[in-house]
Structure 1
Amino acid sequence: MLTAFAAQGLGFEQDRFKTPEGKDLVITFVKHGSLMLEYDGHVLLVDPVSDYADYSKFPKADLILITHEHHDHLDPKAIAATEKESTLIIVNPASQEKLGKGIAMKNGDRRSPVSYLNIEAVPAYNTTPGRDQFHPRGRDNGYILTLGGMRVYIAGDTEDIPEMKQLKNIDIAFLPVNQPYTMTPVQAARAAEMIKPRILYPYHYGETKIQDLKDLLKKDKHIDVRIRQLQ
């Protein structure tokens, strides 16, 4: 069962899920590629950036996840505002070098840094000729998070790469939709057909006509496309 409502005190939409293990997973849709996940009393931030929110008003993070080192995904100020002594920071190697700290994961790595969470780092890159300079193959990460038996795929900045065919049993997927940096709606629809998530959230979509993606997938009754305010 899912409900959507304004995040209390923050002004962002949230969706709430019941995981297979019976605990709630709450996702807050901040903006662009920035998300907050709350599970069993723990707070996880994805690509927090100060331009999109006042992170001094957010709860302190137990874990911060960075997909890559671009300024709209890696922001030391937002990390500092939400970090506490015990915060774990998971990054791709280039972000570790730029930030000067964090646990680096490269494509293919798996970690269970805490008892309630498993993390898989998966490829995220451009394939369109002339655009691979934005996100070259092998540098950046997408992540699959498993919390309470629920698998959440956060794609990072990527196009519809063939490695997506290997992703299995995805409950919730976040796919970026803003060419030239990530995907067109057509590419995102192809990606969704490869991944087959139960629920798809387009994110990182800027000025893209995101309804186009929902229209492209309307015949697929197995994928529930849900559009949230992430501009």
Structure 2
Amino acid sequence: MFFHRSLLLEVRTFAVVPLLVLALSSPWGRGRRAELFVMWSSDDPSLRTQIAALSPTVSPDEARRVAYTTYMTGRELHREWRVAWLPGIQNFLVNMGARKGGLCFQWATELLVRLDALKLQTLELHWAESGANTGAEHNVIVVTARGQAFGEGILLDLWRYSGSLVWAHVGMDPDYRWTENKSELARRLGGTRDVASKQVRSTTKSN
């Protein structure tokens, strides 16, 4: 019954959010409360514009690369993981062993690794969680200007729309309340960097 209600909720959410996107052409520019926005194409300027606007210190090129990399990560993993439309269905398939990936923390981890590889100088990445240690836990990546408070950032969510890039201001998400987990960020990055380091050492020895 819970699973059935979750599917109905996701269908209703999908029906409503595009209307919000059309209604709010600028996330913060008209004095309205922003909610969710979707980046529908790789050349959509809205996300990179808002990332660049986080601070005068942010490099426009870094903002562009973060937006593009996030969008392309969603598309690539959607194909690789054979993602079903509703996230709840994909979660079920992953837990049954019928799909390689597609849980929210997997989306967030893959995105974190790819954004970390950009070696950002003016932007900073954060691991965000909602409902930690519960069955409803959700994880996303938040980007801020370097040194900026977590709550001032923009969340990047690839799970909610099954690989389509959903983004919003951290405090304006209608569905989740986000907190930062610095230790989880370090753990995720540490693990992936260790794997990369071992692969490099192995390659060096074989040569």
- TM-score band w.r.t. shorter chain: under 0.3
Task: Give the TM-score normalised by the residue count of structure 1.
Answer: 0.23
The structure whose residues are more often helix, as a share, is 2
Structure number with greater Rg is 2
Q: Quick one: higher RCO (CA 8 Å, sep 6+), 1 or 2?
A: 2
